[in-house]
Structure 1
Amino acid sequence: MAARSEWRILLALWLMVFSASSQVVIMAPILPRIGATLGIGELEQGSLITAYAVMLSVMALVAGPVSDRLGRRLILLVGSGAMTGALLLHGVAYSFAALLAVRALAGAAGGLLSGAAVSYVGDYFPYERRGWANGWVMSGVAFGQIVGIPAGTLLAGLADFRWPFLAFGLTMALATLLIWRYVPQPPGVRSELPLSLRNVLRRYYELLRRPTTSRSPLVYFLMFFSIGLFLIYLPTWLEHTQGFRTEEMALLFLIGGLANVVAGPLAGRLSDRIGRKPLIVGATLGLAVLMAGAPLLMQSDLTIYTLFALAMALVGMRMSPLQSLLTALVPGARRGSLMSLSIALGQLGIGISGVAAGWLYKEYGYLSNALLGALALVLMALVVGYGLPEPDLQASVGEG
């Protein structure tokens, strides 16, 4: 019975992660279509990414302490319900201003959800099983690339760019129902600190003052900053230089998603055995090398598909070990605050990369995006390798 309850929880969180991540990633392949439909250029397209990321960052800073005090279940329910509404509002976004507004609303809802799933796994599962659990939950991101992104890309090409968001709104509504039905509040992990602006600021100050926990947000910032630089204008570059069509773009994300969905759970389970840091550092450095060389090597369909699949596999290899590592750095009553702070800085990285990538792409070409992204990954590997401890795999520090 316990095993069945665990799988129901993982399914609900998986569907939430699938829906939330798909509605973000779909922006990259359909960004040129959005630009053509609304008559906006590269800089305005990048601002759609930035608006979402900035609102997510702000709301995540609020949601973390609230989830520590009131519980993860409440935040998961409110966040998934709010995301459902925001995604359905995309159906009436017929101007750049309207789309910018609904992307900001979706970002606010995403801020509520940002660290909730990872924190919940940290609360519910012991440390020696968190790599496995996080691997399955985060495979929702990869499944989005396999099914959600290709289907959404084709749907945007056949109908309208708004339709993928409406479809993900329906899957998020189902996730909300599953969370309400099957995801309980884990006992014994709530903070006793009263909710107030002063207490929230003090909690974040304490996290930033400690060397170990202050490095976690930096790791997330560098990770998402690099991915934004690499991914946001990759479809645009492939269209302009390789003549990629909608169907080929959908196939690209399908292949990348397959690589990610295989690598993620395997890496999570392996990290439960050998430790988190070797996989995180190795995958990050490997991705840096690939990212730097991709614009020079992606000269045929075979190399494009192969290198993108390898890149997505490396992304999957580091994600669940990294999340499992970070959830062990603080006790459960502070876990939501740390994860929300980290993800807020990560989304700030995405927001900055959206603006920077658009300017770099326009002024210097896609190679400049990839090289700066690779440099950020090297810095991330150094911070993880020398700045974060590797907890004992037999220790379960989630309660306290």
Structure 2
Amino acid sequence: MRRPPERATLAALWLLVFSVTTQTMILAPILPRVAEQLRMAEGRVAWIGTGYSVAVALVAVVAGPVSDRVGRRRMLLAGAAAMTVGLALHALAHGFGSFLAVRVLTGAGGGVLTGATAAYVGDYFPPERRGWANGWVMSGMAAGQVLGIPVGTLLAARSGFHAPFLVFAGTMAVAWLMIVRWVPQPDVELQHAPLGTRYLVRHYRALVTRRDAAVAILSNFGMFGGTALYVLFLPTWLEEARGATPGQVALLFALGGAATVLAGPAAGRFSDRTGRKRLVVGASVGLALGIVATVPVARGMTAAYLLFTATMALFAARASPFQAMMAEIVPDRQRGSMMSLSMAVGQAGSGLGSALAGATYAYAGFGGNTVLAACAALGMAALVASYLPETAGSYNTRENQP
């Protein structure tokens, strides 16, 4: 079979990530519209997000080993189809129960796609271009922040909260068609054991008993948790302490998203040439410094724009090579499980970080949030520097058998 153009494969994965990310993030800004149209308290509607996250995490844990058995392409097709149907069914959501049901179905699709997309990049792209490919695919998340969220918010205001989900059903359907056409099954070693509970338990036991895999998963937990600690209450602090307007906050995040789009692929390509470990460690240390500098440095919005843009560039400079590193730590037959479990644990880290962010902001102010977030970044740097191998260059996952 003729190998499709590499950039076409990347485009399919990029649109997939863009659609998944945007339909997830859109709930927060349109929450008032949802509460108004469904005639319920915003606090109750917020549980919809919890239902989605739980579905993602539970399905991801099962989907990872399954993808190691049946291949990543099948999982991408199944996950994209499930999410397309789930998003389209949002048109029928006219109450709490029906809205929760369609979000859970959509979350199930997200659970399949979360690890399968990252694992596919590790399977398909050779080590010398893996960081670059990860950077481009992950830039779909930032593009969702810059483009998808504002457009979705505007659609919800004009046409009702169902409208953005239906648009994202369309983009996901296009992504599914692109996967059919341009995303082949990579030529990698798969598991051959029969599927079942025993297979899942044995598969994950073999994974988490590897020190490098366990440390990488723990580092991902800290990365997601630290991000939530810093970002969640940044807009609130800027409005309360610096007098920022909603428009200025929107511009801040647009600039941060643009920095991520540019920095992610560049950092990935740089890690392909010079190594992933030093870039992850260096970006984490720089990120910690940028985070703790927020309160004393960002005394006006111009300084906040510059600092946040630099900080988001460092976030991307850390995330792209680290995702490539996680995919390379384990052999082909464990990659799906590794990426799915790490993403599920990352979701847990984000949840814990969000909870800590609220409590810390209430008792210590945003300065306390920045200290904890910086500690999380430094902790990740220490773990990666001390326990994880350099995986770029001559490192070959097929030879890295447990």
- Relative to the length of structure 2, the TM-score reads 0.89
- Aligned residue in 2 for 1:300: 300
Q: Name the CA distance, whole Å, in 2 between partners of 1:227 and 1:356.
A: 12
Equivalent residue, structure 2, for 1:275? 275
**CA distance 1:377–1:103, shift in 2 (3 Å):** farther
Using a 3 Å threshold, how does the CA distance of structure 1 residues 6 and 106 change in structure 2: closer, same or farther?
Answer: same
The one-letter code matched in structure 1 to 2:284 is T
Tell me the residue number matched to 2:335. 335
1:32-89 CA-partner distances (Å, limit 9, x unpaired): 7667876646x76765544333321111110101101011011101111112223334
Letter in 2 for 1:393: G
CA contact (8 A) 2:272 2:393 kept: yes
The aligned runs of 1:244-393 (5 Å cut-off) are 244-362=244-362, 364-391=364-391, 393=393
> Structure 1 residues 383, 31: closer, same or farther in 2, change over 3 A?
farther
1:28–1:233 CA contact under 8 A, matched in 2:
no
Deviation string 1:209-261 (CA, Å, 9 cap, x unpaired) is 11111112101111111112222333444455555555444322221111111
In structure 1, list runs of 5 or more residues that go unmatched: none
Q: What is the one-letter code of the residue matched to 1:65?
A: P
Indicate the RMSD between aligned Cα atoms, in angstroms: 2.8
Pick 1 or 2: higher relative contact order, CA cutoff 8 A, min separation 6: 1
Residues 159-192 of structure 1, C-alpha deviations (whole Å, 9 max, x = no match): 5454333322221111111112221111242211
Indicate the larger mover: 337-346 or 356-365.
Answer: 356-365
CA 1:23 to 1:231, structure 2 compared with 1: closer, same or farther past 3 Å?
Answer: farther
* Gap change, CA 1:301 and 1:90, over 3 Å in 2: farther
Structure 2 residue aligned with 1:210 = 210
Q: 1:398: Cα distance to partner?
A: 4.9
Q: Could you tell which deviates more after superposition, 389-398 or 136-145? A: 389-398
1:6 matches 2:6: yes
**Shift, 1:346, TM fit:** 0.5
In 1, distance between residues paired with 2:279 and 2:186? 29
Unaligned runs of 5+ in 2: none
> Contact between 1:29 and 1:235, CA under 8 Å: does it hold in 2?
no
Q: Report the alpha carbon displacement of residue 107 of structure 1 after superposing the two structures with TM.
A: 2.5
Deviations 1:3-55 (A, max 9, x none): 852121111111001111222333455557667876646x7676554433332
Counterpart of 1:165?
165
Cα gap change, 1:251/1:128 in structure 2, threshold over 3 Å: closer, same or farther?
same
Separation in 1, partners of 2:242, 2:121: 42
Give yes or no for contact 1:32–1:236 (8 Å, CA) kept in 2: no
Go from structure 1 to structure 2 and tell me whether the alpha carbon gap of 1:233 and 1:381 turns closer, same or farther (over 3 Å shift): same
Provide closer, same or farther for how the CA distance between residues 158 and 242 of structure 1 changes in structure 2, counting only shifts above 3 A: farther
CA distance in 2 between partners of 1:230 and 1:337 (Å): 29
Residue deviations 1:79-113, cap 9 Å, x none? 11112223334445555565554443333221101
Match of 1:115 in 2: 115
The equivalent residue for 1:24 is 24
CA deviation profile, 1:346-379 (whole Å, cap 9, x unmatched): 0111222333334444555444333322222221
How far is 1:345 from its partner? 0.5
Within 1, Cα distance between the matches of 2:28 and 2:239?
A: 12
Query: Judging changes above 3 Å, is the alpha-carbon distance between structure 1 residues 159 and 235 closer, same or farther for their aligned structure 2 residues?
Result: farther
Following the alignment from structure 1 to structure 2, what is the Cα–Cα distance between the partners of residues 225 and 180? Answer: 35
Distance across 2 between alignment mates of 1:154 and 1:220: 33
| Contact 1:21–1:144 (Cα < 8 Å) also in 2 | yes
Change in 2 beyond 3 A, CA 1:166/1:244 = farther
Where does 1:119-158 land on structure 2 (aligned, <5 Å)? 119-158=119-158
Deviation at 1:301, TM superposition (A): 2.2
CA distance, structure 2, for counterparts of residue 234 and residue 156 of structure 1:
24
Q: Assess if the C-alpha contact under 8 Å between 2:223 and 2:377 holds in 1.
A: yes
Provide the identity percentage.
Answer: 47
Letter in 2 for 1:170: G
Counterparts of 2:367 and 2:93, CA distance in 1 = 33
- Classify 1:278/1:181 alpha carbon distance in 2 versus 1 (closer, same or farther; 3 Å): same
Aligned 8 A contact 1:69 1:190 in 2? yes
User: In the superposition, relative to structure 1, how do residues 371 and 323 fare at CA in structure 2: closer, same or farther (>3 Å)?
Assistant: same
- More deviation in 93-102 or 304-313? 93-102
For these two proteins, the number of residue pairs brought into alignment is 399
Question: How far, CA to CA, are the matches of 1:236 and 1:147 in structure 2?
Answer: 22
Structure 1 contact 122–398 (Cα < 8 Å) conserved: no
Contact 1:125 1:133 survives alignment (8 Å) = yes
